[in-house]
């Protein structure tokens, strides 16, 4: 059965209520950035791509022949999450994203006998700075809803006219289960794709339900070639060219860091929830006993009076207020962003970090957020449960009365040294140098009333050491 999107794709630029574009004065010009929106079949939300992302040639799957097009084979298939700013349910939905080296209009996912269709776009190279000499990225994305929790599916991506279609090799993925859930945490992979690949091997071996990534995926966020290199490291099993690793196998939800600098390339490479003018910049979702809120902190840290920063801060306050009201059902509140608010490395006194800390810490205090996950400082750190004021944190003996801040940023970036301990430190671990570790990562288990965190020192030869454990209960 072929699932048809809610409108005729040939009429995309016309007045369909289900797929709309707005390219400014000339909406038919594919070279202009476009605002685009449509509702995927079977989903209860709209896909929104604001013009501010700078994407071009956005269109629904066109069903045209593509076997005669060199470069139509899908590459680097990855899985994310859709939905509005309060995201979709990851136990029953997923978003499949991939790229091709040629501009083709195919955007289809086959799961069993069902074909789902989506949209395509082009992420142009930047006009100034790094990446200007690189080709554009030809991207394809399909939202799939109505799946079953904790279920393994075999799928392929690609598409094209029947008999003239091109498909990827089959992969499998498992939807996020209900009940007890395990997820992975890492960040700052920007300098070494090989270390990032080791982290991905650990995520595969631990069979995490999904991954959270706290930013600085690549060194220069406008260079598409860097995303391709790092995603390749997570796509193919380095020990068996016929097998896949984690990309396309596990859902990954990432926030950008300062090195991505809110670039179109970052937002083109990851499928994240969100709608409106700042779609994908801030969003939340529930998994098991935890409510996660994730956001791009670039504007908050660098220009807090800007419209995007103000919109993000208002969203955080409103979203966490609603989450508090639902705490009987989803007890843990977890925030993820890049800049480490109470890290002990060289960034702790940077003006952007100080600004972010001053703005965010009162929100976490007001809504009794349990855990904040950061990157930015290339090390592993954890505070005791603390509250403000931001300039003089107060340690709380009861973890439900304060927020635990964890920095887990060693997925490839060069190590930073730590400054002296503070009164609120609980654990601090470096890597590189004389240590046996090339990085750090964490595996977290959620059940109905506990969040159990285990951090590991990553060894190139395997046999990673446990460097920290803690458990939050509610």
Tell me the domains of the chain and their CATH numbers.
181-473 (3.60.21.10)
Q: What is the pLDDT of residue 188?
A: 98
> What distances in angstroms separate CA 323 from CA 29, 54, 225, 274, 363, one per listed residue?
42, 33, 39, 17, 13
Q: What is the pLDDT of residue 27?
A: 39
Q: In which band, very low, low, confident or very high, does the pLDDT at 152 lie, cut at 50, 70 and 90? A: very high
Q: In which band, very low, low, confident or very high, does the pLDDT at 223 lie, cut at 50, 70 and 90? A: very high
Q: What is the pLDDT of residue 419?
A: 83
Helix (H) or strand (E) holding 282: strand 282-287
Q: Can you point out the beta strands (E) in 40-136? A: 47-49, 56-60, 75-80, 94-100, 108-111, 114-117, 119-123
Contact status, residue 123 vs residue 66, Cβ threshold 8 Å: no
Give the mean pLDDT of 262-272.
98
- Could you tell me where the DSSP H helices lie in 153-286? 193-205, 224-235, 264-269
Contact status, residue 90 vs residue 287, Cβ threshold 8 Å: yes
For residue 115, give the nearest of 3, 40, 248 by alpha carbon.
3
pLDDT over threshold 90, residue 31 = no
The residues, any chain, with a CB within 8 Å of residue 336's CB and separated by 6 or more, are: 212, 214, 255, 292, 293, 294, 295, 372, 373, 374
Eight-class DSSP state of 116: E
Give the tens place of pLDDT for each residue, 70-129.
Answer: 999 999 999 999 999 999 999 999 999 999 999 999 999 999 999 999 999 999 999 999
Contact status, residue 109 vs residue 155, Cβ threshold 8 Å: yes
Contact status, residue 265 vs residue 122, Cβ threshold 8 Å: no
User: What percentage of residues in the chain have a pLDDT greater than 70?
Assistant: 93
The residues, any chain, with a CB within 8 Å of residue 360's CB and separated by 6 or more, are: 297, 300, 316, 335, 337, 341, 372
Token reading at 69: 């097009």
Q: 9 by DSSP, 3-state: which? A: helix
Token reading at 257: 């860091």
Neighbours of 307 (CB within 10 A): 11
The residues, any chain, with a CB within 8 Å of residue 328's CB and separated by 6 or more, are: none
Give the tens place of pLDDT for each residue, 318-376.
Answer: 999 999 999 999 999 999 999 999 998 889 899 999 999 999 999 999 999 999 999 99
> What distances in angstroms separate CA 181 from CA 89, 167, 184, one per listed residue?
14, 32, 10
Give the tens place of pLDDT for each residue, 419-461.
Answer: 877 889 999 999 999 999 999 999 999 999 999 999 999 999 9
């Amino acid at each position: 059965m072929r699932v048809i999107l809610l409108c005729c794709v040939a009429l995309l630029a016309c007045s369909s209520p289900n797929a709309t574009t707005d390219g400014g004065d000339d909406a038919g010009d594919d070279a202009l950035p476009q605002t685009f929106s449509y509702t995927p079949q079977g989903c209860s939300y709209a896909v929104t791509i604001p013009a501010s992302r700078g994407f071009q040639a956005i269109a629904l799957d066109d069903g045209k022949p593509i076997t005669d097009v060199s470069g139509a084979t899908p590459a680097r298939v990855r899985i994310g999450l859709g939905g509005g700013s309060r995201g979709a349910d990851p136990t029953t939905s997923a978003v499949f994203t991939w790229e091709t080296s040629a501009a083709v209009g195919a955007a289809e996912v086959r799961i069993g006998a069902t074909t789902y269709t989506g949209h395509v776009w082009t992420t142009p190279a930047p006009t100034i700075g790094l990446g200007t000499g690189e080709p554009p990225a030809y991207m394809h994305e399909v939202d799939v809803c109505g799946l079953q929790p904790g279920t393994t599916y075999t799928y392929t991506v690609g598409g094209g006219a029947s008999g003239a279609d091109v498909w990827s090799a089959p992969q499998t993925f498992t939807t996020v289960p209900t009940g007890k859930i395990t997820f992975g945490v890492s960040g700052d992979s920007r300098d070494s794709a090989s270390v990032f690949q080791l982290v991905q091997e650990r995520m595969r071996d631990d069979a995490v339900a999904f991954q959270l990534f706290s930013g600085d995926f690549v060194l220069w966020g406008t260079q598409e070639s860097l995303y391709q290199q790092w995603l390749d490291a997570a796509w193919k099993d380095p020990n068996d060219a016929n097998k896949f690793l984690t990309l396309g196998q596990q859902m990954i939800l990432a926030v950008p860091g300062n090195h991505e600098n809110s670039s179109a390339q970052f937002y083109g490479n990851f499928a994240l929830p969100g709608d409106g003018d700042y779609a994908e910049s801030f969003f939340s979702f529930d998994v098991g006993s935890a409510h996660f809120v994730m956001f791009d902190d670039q504007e908050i840290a660098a220009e807090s009076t800007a419209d995007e920063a103000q919109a993000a801060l208002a969203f955080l306050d409103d979203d966490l207020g609603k989450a508090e009201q639902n705490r009987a059902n989803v007890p843990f509140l977890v925030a993820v962003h890049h800049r480490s608010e109470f890290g002990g490395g060289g960034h702790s006194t940077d003006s952007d970090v100080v600004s972010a800390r001053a703005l965010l810490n009162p929100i976490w205090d007001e809504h009794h957020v349990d855990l904040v996950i950061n990157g930015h400082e290339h090390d592993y750190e954890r505070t005791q449960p603390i509250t403000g004021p931001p300039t003089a944190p107060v340690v709380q003996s009861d973890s439900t009365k304060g927020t635990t801040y964890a920095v887990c940023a060693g997925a490839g970036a060069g190590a930073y040294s730590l400054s002296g301990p503070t009164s609120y430190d609980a654990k601090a671990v470096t890597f590189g140098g004389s240590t046996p570790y090339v990085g750090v990562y964490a595996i977290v288990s959620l059940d109905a009333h506990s969040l159990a965190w285990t951090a590991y020192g990553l060894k190139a030869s395997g046999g990673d050491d446990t460097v920290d454990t803690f458990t939050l209960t509610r």
